[in-house]
Structure formats: C-alpha cells, structure tokens
A and B are shown apart, each in its own frame.
Chain A
C-alpha cells in the first residue's frame, strides 16, 4: 500500500500508547502490566488502576480471548467506512483479563454468521499502513 492511501482513522500515538503500537507492528498483542501488583490493564493509563503504582510495563499476551458482544454498523460516521458497510465491531475479553474493541474477520465477518457470546477467538494482524497494524479477531481454530 502506498503512503496516504489509507483514509480511515489512525491512532493518535503518544508516550503512553507507543509501546502498544510498536508491538502491534511486530504482530504481537500487548497490554499494560503493573510491575508492583501484576494487574493487567488496557487501554493504558498513567498509573495502575488497582494499586495506583506507576511502575508500569508492557506484556505480550496470548492473543486468545472470547467474543463478548458485537454490532454491525450500517451507518458510516467516517466517509472512509462507507464502502465497507455493514462492518462489524466486537468486544473481546482477553484471556489475561482486559476487554478490548476490535473487528471480527474470516468466517465471523458476515452479518448473521456464527457469532455467539463466549466464542473462542484469536488475534490476527492487519497491516493497514507501513507503520500501523490493527489487531482483529478470527474464530479460534480457523485456518
């Protein structure tokens, strides 16, 4: 893909989120981890939500999780999404605890397909620009 072709919203990367996007570029899913109490959290925050400590690092996680819920957008709030309508957005509960927003791909990327609450899913990465890779989720066991 040529630079500038991608018109969908891109992350606003700052000090707090940079490590996440660097791991994602290497196709690794990560969450913030408190070195004092071991709490996992995402999106990242300046302190640990559990113990208020500020010795926070990043941990690469398994990429496995479960589908919590999903919706199909039939309206585009950004014109760059118009051609994809309807597109899905899902909530995934990671094995390690944190809950994240992502998109379902593969067999689950069709409205009315086999989405079920609790379905095992696994992370796959989509290189949308030379710098940015977005995590998406496929049914665990899909080729």
Chain B
C-alpha cells in the first residue's frame, strides 16, 4: 500500500446537528450532511461518481434522493468498524480509477428509534445465560485487563473525563458539562465494572466525507488533507463472543501499527492528535497499547493526569468522541481529524497540528493517518 501514500485526499466534510430528531429520516439527515460537505469543498453533486452508504437503509434510494448516478457504490452494515473500512475502500477505489470523487454518507437515528444494543434486538447464541450487548463484552475485556495488569476503574475514568473536557470546547457536542473521576465512580453501573459514563452516547445525526485525488483536491475550496497511511487487520477466528477478544485486539493492532506507520513514514511520537474509536472507554486504552503509545498493560498509567485532554501529551478525541460529542460511529472522528489539520477547530484547535491518526479497536481493526496536503 506504500505507493498510495499521500495520493488521495479528503476534500470536503460535513455533518448535521447532533441530538434527537424524531421528525427526520435517515435519508434526510444524510442529504443534509452531503449538502454541507459539497459546500465545504465547492464540488457539485454531479462531480460525485462514487457513493458509500453506511447505516442508511438502501443505497439506491439514497442515490435517488440525492439525484446522483455513481459508477462505484458500496453499502456497509451499520457497524462502527465500517467507517475506517469504508474510507480505506474509497481511497483504493479512487487510486485504481473506479471513481474520481467518492461521497461517504452515514446517518443514524438510533436515538429516535430507541435502539438498545442488546436483548431480542440482537439475539445470539449466549442469550440463555443473559449475555448480550457490546457494552457487556467490553466489561468482560476491561475486567480481564484489571486482573492481568492491575488497571483500575479510576484510571479508566481518565478516559471519559478527558474526552468530556474536550467536548466542553466543542459547541456542537451533545454532552459538554464537565465530569470528574468521582462522578465516574458514582454513575450507575450498567455491566460492571463499566458504568454509564463508560458508554457512548446514542444520538441522531449524519456525516459526510468527500474523497478525491490529491491533484483534484488542490483546486477545491479547502486545503486538501491527505491519507498518508492506512492499516488493517481483522480478528474473526476467536469471535464467538461478539465484540470480545481475549487479547483486547493487541496483536491485530500491532499489525495495524506496523502497516500504518510504515506507509506514512512516521511513528507514534509524531502523532499530534489521536482519534480513537470510543464506543466504550476501555477501547481507548486498548488502542493506546496496541498502537504502541505505551507499553502493553500500561495504558492505565499513561492516561492519568489528563494525558488525553486538548492540552495533554496526546490530545485524543478533541471533538468529544462518541462518549461526549456524538455517536457517529467513527465518522465524526474522521471529520474532526480533517478539521484539526485544516486549522478550523476554533477554541479546541491544536497548535501546529500536522499529523492526526484515527484508530478503531474492534473485530476489524483499522487505522488511518492524515496529514496536511
């Protein structure tokens, strides 16, 4: 993949407001994000010849609603891991000439539909024992991390507390009220050792990224943000317990790190901001260890004292992530990466931000390194 370094750019980004919009449809929200992303880069919808639909019911209807007829289309399931996957797929589609300009659309009205992420809504083999929900799978993993490495729930609290502090600087974040480590300890348990503040939000909203070649992006309204590195490794063989991995995806993330850093020609010490998929707070710890920001088992002490805050040593999820900004399943984090590199982030803008990394620690581990064009 090294030959694809810096060849494809994110030209435009856009998203809707985040919150509860029972009156809106998936298609309406996605169209709003698409319009915003087109306006952001100055492209016309006729320029778009590639389409990715994630968590949108039907790609044909989406194209009809937008009035576009692409020559390359991809629909993904409504899984958070699909954002990184789809961006990498779109990069490859453009690089090989299957499309010139790809719009990636994501819409979620899970809040208005009262999605529970467990029980009969997602039935599975282990239901008779009461095992259900991705949150419980992460609780099982975090308990194992505590047993193996002595990590504490107070150390874990540093993740949602820092990410909430970041959200406080983001005017469009859903949750902006600061929280403390004691608040984290007092919050009601859901699947212990995890409690309410370890769980991401569930809110409505939509996001859009528009990708094209570096050359074409240079002629558009905003400075291009380049895809400098990508990494991918799936973990399917030990996946009978959904969203659970004995090794916290450490080996897979190490493989991803090898690919993404080699391709981009940088290492963890060059990363100005990390966008870490934070469906549940332990995922951030697993990502830090797997990518090598700290040693194995050392993420608990790494995140202490506000390391992940806007002014910490590794600013992470500067928009407030899934825990506090919006449950956009990785899409908003990738949009935030672009905006930080463009210098558009207002009071949460990081100084001299040149290299931003996205990572998702899931059964499909993915990472993307973005740089200024």
Q: Which residues of A contact B (CB under 8 A)?
A: 8-12, 17, 42-43, 49, 68-75, 77-78, 81, 84, 86-87, 89, 91, 99, 101-103, 111, 116-117, 128, 132, 134, 136
Contact = CB atoms under 8 A, between A and B. Distances in A.
B184 to A, nearest CB: 15
B353 interface: no
B202 to A, nearest CB: 14
B191 A69 contact: no
Given A68-B144, A69-B141, A11 B128 contact: yes
A102 to B, nearest CB: 6
Interface string B38-53: 0000000000000000
Nearest to A111: B192
A9 B127 contact: yes
Contact of A91 (B130, B188, B194, B244): B244
A74 B188 contact: yes
B113 interface: no
B116 A77 contact: yes
A77 B119 contact: yes
Nearest to B188: A74
A89 B190 contact: no
Contacts, number: 93
Interface of B: 116, 118-120, 123, 125-133, 136, 139-141, 143-144, 147-148, 188-194, 237-238, 240-241, 244, 246
B123 to A, nearest CB: 7
A134 B130 CA distance: 11
Given A86-B189, A91-B244, A77 B118 contact: yes
A72 B148 CA distance: 19
Contact of A73 (B136, B143, B147): B136
B241 A91 contact: yes
B192 A99 contact: no
A74 to B, nearest CB: 4
B190 A69 contact: no
A88 to B, nearest CB: 8
Contact of B240 (A42, A69, A86, A117): A42
